[in-house]
Amino acid sequence: MSEWLSAWGYLLVPIALVLAIGLVLWRVWPVLMGTARKRDDDHDRLSRWNRYLLPLFRKTLEGKMIVVRAGFVGKGENRHTIATWTLEPSMLPDVEYIALARPGTSDEPEIQAVGEATVLRELLTGYVQSQTMFGHTAYIHVWPPEADIDAVVARLTPVQAFREQMGGDPLTES
């Protein structure tokens, strides 16, 4: 009987080891690598968000909430962080600007206007919640059902004016 157990032990130990390593690579590694550090600048912080945490959150949330990729607009010292929100329940990283887009069926949403993230959060008081996860501040955005999108868009910067001001396209810069 003990010979049989030791034979199974030679088979089960490597399988358990492979499963443990797989679990670490699947769940723990993205968290370790994606955790923002105090010394990170915006580029490093958002690169960690996009590369490690975004896929992890998308798998974890299973499509119940959109997890938004961050990007950059502008060049040199005029470089700023931006994310596109399609008015659906979404988790956005901490960025300087949010491009507001109407939800649609196409892969590339039509951006209506761009606004400073802090101003947009103030306009949507009560519908934006902040979360701190792995060193990143993220915001859960939910569009209020009673809010008029056209009125909000009118208070934000038009897309063309934002492009001229920043020198870049909010949809294509990264």
Amino acid letter, 102: R
Report the alpha-carbon distance of residue 125 to residue 157 in Å, rounded.
19
SS (H, E, C) 143-174: CCCCCCHHHHHHHCEEHHHHHHHHCCCCCCCC
Reported as type and span, the H/E element at residue 19 is helix 2-23
Q: Summarize pLDDT for 41-68 with one digit per residue, the tens.
A: 888 888 889 988 888 888 888 888 899 9
Q: Give percent of the chain with pLDDT exceeding 70.
A: 89
Annotated domain spans of the chain = 65-166
| 12 backbone dihedrals φ, ψ, rounded to 5° | -75, -35
Strand-pair partners of 16: none
User: Pseudo-torsion of CA 110, 112, 117, 119, nearest 10°?
Assistant: -160
Q: Summarize pLDDT for 6-48 with one digit per residue, the tens.
A: 767 778 888 889 998 888 777 777 788 888 888 888 888 888 8
Report the alpha-carbon distance of residue 156 to residue 112 in Å, rounded.
9
The pLDDT of residue 168 is above 60: no
